[in-house]
Structure 1
Amino acid sequence: MTTSRRRFLKAALGTTVVAGGLQVPGVAAADEPQHSVPLDHIGIQLYTVRNIMTTDPQGTLSALGGMGYATVGVSGLYGHTPEKFRDMLDIGGVRAVLTHTSWDAMNANVERELQIARILGVRYVVVPSLPGSLRTVAGYTHAAAKFQEWGIKCRSAGMKFLFHNHDVDFLKVDGRVLYDILVEQTDPRFVNFELDLYWIVKPGYDPVAYFERYPRRFPVFHVKDMAANGSFEDLGYGTIDFPRIFARYAQSGISEYVVEHDTPRDPLLTARRGQEYLAKVRF
C-alpha cells in the first residue's frame, strides 16, 4: 500500500463500531464543530440495484424512498419511456438528481439526451466513462473539447455537465495524468466532475489533494467504499476515510452524495447501509 493511500484510508481516529459492523465517527468534544450530510442530498446510483430494477422497478424505487433516500442517479430507463420512468420516480418518492448517458449517445444526438434529462428532471447530465481508444493525451484533449461543447449546451438547457471517473482515468501517459487534462482544459462554468471516491483511491490518489488543486469542481460524489483487499464494500464497512473527505465540503464544492456499489451481494441491504451511514456520519 502506498504512503499516499495510507493518508486517506481509515486510521484509529475515534471511530466507533456499532451493531452490524457499521463504523461511524466517535463522539466529538462539546466544543468541536460537527457537520452532517443534508438528508435531502443523500442519493443512490440505480446501477447499485440494477438487477432488481430489471424485474421490479417500481417496487425498487419505492423501497429506496422508504429507506430515506431523497434522490437517485439514473442508470438507464430499463425499457421504459422517460415519461413513464419519471412517473415511477414520483410514485416512489425520490427525485432524479443526475442521469448517466454515454460518450457515444452524446456524440450521436446530444439534444435527444438533454430532452430525456429534462423529462427526468435532473440537475446533472453525466458521461460516466470514455472509450479506451481515447486513452492518450490527444484523446483526452479531444474529450475535454467535447465536454466543453456539451457543457455549454447543458447550461443553455438549465442543467450542468459532469464527467465520472474510473481508475483508468488516472493513468499517466507521456508524463501526464489523463484525468488532469479534463479538469485543466475545461471551463468550470460549463464542465465539472462527479468524483467516484473508490475509483480515485484505488489507483493511489488523494481526493483532498484534488480539492486543493481544483477547488469547487466536484459537486457530486459517488460514495463507494473499499474493502481491505481492494474490492468493493458496503458503505461504512470498508477502509476509506469519508469524514476526512467530507470535511472539505466547502473546498470540493460538493452538493450531492450518491451511494454506489458495483457488485452488491444483497442490493437492498447495501442500499440501506449506505443511507444509514450517510445519515449518521459527522465530520
Structure 2
Amino acid sequence: MNAHEEEIEITGALRRGLGLNRRQFLAATTGIAAATAVAVTGGTGRAAHAATTPNGVLIPPPRRGIILYTVRDAVSRDPNSTSLPSGFRRVFEELGRIGYRQIEFAGYGQHANAEGGASLESVEGARLLRGWLDDNGLRAQGNHGFIPGSWPFTQADLDRFKRHLEIANILGMDHMGTGNDPTSSPYKADWDVAAEKWNALGAIARDAGIKLYTHNHDVAYSFLLDSGPLDAQGRPTRSSGVRRLEYFLSISDPKLVYLEMDIFWAHVAQFKHRTYTAPDGSVATDVFDPLAVVRPDTKRFPLFHAKDGRSNPATGNGYDMVPFGTGDIDYAAFFRGVGAKGSHNPMYEQDNAPGGTANPAQSLQYADVSYANMAALRG
C-alpha cells in the first residue's frame, strides 16, 4: 500500500467531498462541526470503514466498541415520535452500519414504545437483545450494571447480582462491571473493605465465567489518606503518596478483580491531583501517569473508555469532552504503549454527546465521527 492509498484508508468516507487531508480533517471534526460534516457527507457506513486494515493499526476492527451511555438519548427516545433510530434494536442497526463491533451496555432500559418494552433486564429480554446484536454483527463486551451496595451482602442483592451474571452470559459477555469507583471514600480503611467485597464478588463472577471490572473517575486517582495526625473521628489526615485506586489494585486479587480505565478521567486526575500533604506536613508533588499504571499489568485492564478531551485549563477538569480523535489526549501513544496488542477493548464514550431537542441526531453523528478516528489510529 502506497502513502496515497493509506491516506484514503485512514480518513475513509468522512473526508470524501470535503477536500481535506488527514491533519485538516482531524482539526475540522470538532464539536458541532464534526457532526455537521458527517451529516453533509451522509455518514460513513460500514463499507467505508471495512477496507483492508494496514499494518500499524492500534485498535483492530473487531475491538472497536462503544458504550451505549454515549447514545442514551437514542436508546431512550420514543420511536413513535421520530424517524431517527430509537430503542435498542434500531440503534444496534445504526451502530453496526457505522462499523462498531462491540457494545458496552449502560443498563437494559429503553423507551416503553420501543420493540421489547421498557425494561429488558430479564432472561427473556437478554435473549431478545442477543438476537439483535447477532443480527448486526455486534458483540456485548460489558455492562455498567448492578453491584451490591451492602457488605456483607443481603440475600436480595446477591440474588440480583447472580441474575445479572446470567444475563451477561446470555448476551455473550466476557466481562461485567460498574460505572462507579469501588468506594468514594478517601480513607484507607474503606478501601480495605472495598477490596474484600470486590474479591468476594469477583469469585462469584469467575465461577459464572465472567470477569468482574470496576471503573474510575478522576477522584479514584487522588491520594489516599493513610497517615499523619488523626482527626476527631480517628481518621488519618495526610497521605503517604499512594493513590486510591492504585492501592485497591495492590490489595485486590488480580485473578478476580479487573479494571476499565476511563482514559479521560485519568487525564483529568493528571491535571487535578498533583500534590498531597505528606505525613510531616510538607506538600509533595507527584504528577499522575495513566500509562505507567496500566503498562506493568496491562491484561488486568481488559476494557478502556476511549473518551477524548480538548485541553482547557480554565475549567475545573482541565479538559472539555469532544468526539474521539478530535481532542488533545494522545491516544496513539497510549495504545502504542500499553502492549498486549489485540487484547484490550476500547469503548468510545462521550458524556455530552446527546444534542437534545436542538440536535437530536448528534450522538449518533458523533459516534460516526469517533468510529472513523478510532479506525484511523496508527502506531
Q: TM-score range by the shorter chain?
A: 0.7 to 0.9
1:216 pairs with 299, 317, 322, which one? 299
* 1:240 is the counterpart of 2:291: no
TM-score of the aligned structures, taking structure 1 as reference length: 0.84
Q: 1:188 aligns with which of 247, 254, 260?
A: 254
Query: 2: CA distance between counterparts of 1:52 and 1:257?
Result: 21
> Which of these residues, 99, 119, 132, is aligned with residue 68 of structure 1?
99
Change (3 A) 1:148 1:171: same
**1:35 to partner: Cα distance:** 3.8
Give the AA of the match of 1:227. Answer: R
Partners in 2 of 1:53 and 1:214 — Cα distance?
35
Query: What's the counterpart of residue 146 of structure 1?
Result: 197
Change (3 A) 1:104 1:151: closer
TM-score by length of 2: 0.64
Q: Which segment is superposed worse, 36-45 or 175-184?
A: 175-184
Residue 74 of structure 1 deviates from its aligned partner by 0.7
Query: 3-state SS of the aligned residue for 2:269?
Result: coil
CA separation of 1:101 and 1:120: change in aligned 2, threshold 3 A? same
Q: 2:268 aligns with which of 194, 198, 202?
A: 202
Q: CA deviation at 1:254?
A: 4.5
- In structure 2, what is the Cα distance between the partners aligned to 1:20 and 1:269? 17
Partner residue in 2 for 1:40: 62
Paired residue type of 1:62: E
Q: Which of 267, 278, 282 is residue 374 of structure 2 equivalent to?
A: 278
How far is the alpha carbon of 1:210 from its aligned partner?
Answer: 0.7
- In 2, are the aligned partners of 1:127 and 1:162 still within 8 Å (CA)? yes
How far apart are the structure 2 equivalents of 1:170 and 1:49? 27
Whether 1:172 and 2:172 are equivalent positions in the alignment is no
Q: Check the 8 A contact 2:195/2:251 in 1, yes or no.
A: yes
Alignment pair present for 1:94 and 2:94: no
Tell me the alpha carbon deviations over residues 157-205 of structure 1, each in whole angstroms, 9 at most, x when there is no partner.
1111111111121121322311112211122222111111001001113
Higher mean displacement: 138-147 or 68-77 = 138-147
User: Is 2:37 aligned against 1:17?
Assistant: no
CA distance in 2, matches of 1:164, 1:130: 6
Q: CA deviation at 1:63?
A: 0.1
Moved over 6 A (4+): none
Shift of 1:245: 0.4
Aligned residues of 1:144 and 1:182 also touching (Cα < 8 A) = yes
Distance 1:153 1:62 in 2: 34
**Shift in Å, 1:251:** 5.8
C-alpha contact 1:69 1:94 (8 A) present in aligned 2: yes
* Whole-Å separation in 1 of the counterparts to 2:342 and 2:268: 22
Kept in 2, the 8 Å contact 1:211–1:251? The answer is: no
Aligned length: 260
Show the counterpart of 1:267. 363
Structure 1 275/253 Cα, relative in aligned 2: closer, same or farther at 3 Å? Answer: closer
Query: What is the identity, as a one-letter code, of the residue corresponding to 2:107?
Result: G
Task: Provide the identity percentage.
Answer: 28
Higher relative contact order (CA 8 A, sep 6+): 1
Larger-gyration structure (1/2): 2
Closer/same/farther in 2, CA of residues 251 and 63 from structure 1, 3 Å limit: closer
Report the more deviating stretch, 235-244 or 253-262.
253-262
User: C-alpha distance in 2, partners of 1:19/1:277?
Assistant: 8
**Other structure's SS at 2:135 match:** helix
2:146 and 2:204 map into 1 onto residues whose CA distance is: 16
Shift of 1:49: 0.4
2:369 partner letter = R
Q: Note the C-alpha offset of 1:105.
A: 6.7
Which SS does the other structure have where 1:237 is aligned? coil
Deviations 1:13-56 (A, max 9, x none): xx823267259xxxxxxxxx734311001010000000110122
